[in-house]
Amino acid sequence: MADNENAAPPAARPCPICGKPRLAQYKPFCSPRCADIDLGRWLKGSYVIPGAPVDEAEADKPASDDED
Ligand SMILES: [Zn+2]
């Protein structure tokens, strides 16, 4: 009888890029633009992929332009 097991429904989580309410078709983002921004971070090496070679030219660049 535990009704509150799901305290936060997935739809309540904001876009990780801009913090706006995300849309189901673009999840976990709010728009294709935010998804593209996230992809750009991947390509720049902001996200470290274990086992993958990291370009040291971009590796020391902090991702502090938004709050996670
Ligand atoms: Zn967004």
Tens of pLDDT along 11-61?
578 999 999 999 999 989 999 999 999 999 888 875 565 676 666 665 566
Looking at the DSSP bridge assignments, the partners of residue 21 are 14
d(CA 68, CA 30): 15
d(CA 8, CA 55): 38
The pLDDT of residue 45 is 78
Q: Which comes out higher in pLDDT, residue 64 or 16?
A: 16
The pLDDT of residue 11 is 52
**Region label for 58, one of left (φ > 0), alpha (ψ between -120 and 50) or beta (otherwise):** alpha
CA of 59 to the centre of ligand 1 (A): 24
CA of 18 to the centre of ligand 1 (A): 4
CA of 3 to the centre of ligand 1 (A): 30
CA of 11 to the centre of ligand 1 (A): 13
The pLDDT of residue 31 is 95
The pLDDT of residue 67 is 58
